[in-house]
Amino acid sequence: MAAYEDAGIRGLGASAAKGRPPDSIPSTERPMRAIFPAALLVGLTGTLFLSACEREGQQNDGPAQATLAAAPTLERRPFGTTADGQQVELFTVTNATGMKVSFTNYGGVITAIEVPDRRGTVEDVTLGFDSLQGYLGEHPYFGSLIGRYGNRIARGRFTLDGKEYRLAVNNGPNALHGGRRGFNRVIWSAEPFQNDSSAGAVLTYTSADGEEGYPGTLRTSVTYTLTNDNSLSFTYRATTDKPTPVNLTQHAYFNLAGDGEGDILAHRLQLNASRFTPVDSTLIPTGELASVKNTPFDFTQPVSIGARINQPDQQLKFGGGYDHTWVLARQGEGLVPAARLHEPESGRVMEILTTEPGIQFYSGNFLDGSITGRAGHVYQHRYGLALETQHFPDSPNKPAFPSTILRPGEEYRSQTVYRFSVEGAAPR
């Protein structure tokens, strides 16, 4: 357990400086080109987790790389009103290459990530809605900022310092993603920023003591930053006045072929993980950290998501596909490669770095055609996937897992980076 104990909770080393957002990470700690450079050979047993561009062909940063000197732009506009009359805003950041990210202060929802394919065609690669009304209704956390605790807690209860706490049960017998009114259902204060190389906003929210059953007043900030190298980063911070579990994450659904462009089974996925957390029939981890070797859960090399998803495996049956946490290979704290996702037809690539010890891969198993999203797209089975960087599910009830408990006087700090690019030349 020592290799990943408490990784990513504290001591990330970020500092405020003039010309940077207050929660940004120094340039020496964030990736500027490939997510998997040779210097980050943090390795699987017997295998080097090499740069995916070295494995599967030449990768580039898109057609507009020559314009990197231009400063990103930020637009702020109204996005509607909640049922109780609160005003909601939409922020759209565009960088020098033309990549565009839109997000709202309602639930920290990412409403769009628009990136070019190998032909230069720009499309939104996330699932979502055209207006605020879609996000106010029931949906499977499209683009949402998740808290106070991402993923599941068994039976909606945990014991901390000898006292049992009971949470809202909203996913079968378990608590999921912070409860009925998690961080995805609240209005965040937003402070936008711009400088020569990045733009975004700092979102802040104070969760009251007892909110959704969690102890302590939790003061949280999340900084969304888009840079000119097509990196979108999320920097999380939190403090508390009582001990409490904290596990924050982002729940965007991706389809790198484009929103509404079929299922994600042909996407090729690589995970920097030789172990995963098996679950019971309610998707609560058993406590085992199992090897992925010779199982459908082995993504140590790039594999099409659909290649093994229908194999007669008990874990796949429990999840209806992939809905599990992988244990990332790491040595100490700091950013490490987590995942690489490639859509062969478009050439689009998304790479993920994180300070977290795990990543939840969810293959859109519960999408069933009952939701109509933006531009009238009907989200059928597996039309999107989620890659959620986080601590492990049910950690408050699993003492052997890395701790998620934040105590007074400590600061929760975590960062995740999405890096977008294209692979292969456009056909002539």
The answer to whether 136 and 111 have CB atoms below 8 angstroms apart is no
Three-state SS for 174?
strand
Catalytic residue among 251, 267, 342, 391: 251
> What token pair was written down for 278?
């098996």
Largest CA distance in the chain: 67
Annotation marks residue 388 as catalytic: yes
The answer to whether 71 and 83 have CB atoms below 8 angstroms apart is no
> What token pair was written down for 281?
């029939």
Q: How many whole angstroms separate alpha carbon 172 and alpha carbon 347?
A: 38
Query: What is the phi/psi pair of residue 372, to 5°?
Result: -105, 120
Where would I find the beta strands (DSSP E) of 184-291?
Answer: 189-194, 198-207, 218-227, 231-240, 244-245, 249-251, 268-271, 273-276, 290-291
Annotation marks residue 288 as catalytic: no
Q: How many whole angstroms separate alpha carbon 236 and alpha carbon 221?
A: 6
Alpha helices in 57-211 (DSSP H): 132-136
Three-state SS for 388?
strand
Catalytic residue among 351, 356, 388, 423: 388
Q: How many whole angstroms separate alpha carbon 123 and alpha carbon 101?
A: 11
CA distances to 8, 53, 133, 171, 256 from 38, rounded to whole Å, are 22, 11, 45, 41, 25
Identity at 169, one-letter amino acid code: V
Q: What is the set of active-site residues?
A: 251, 388
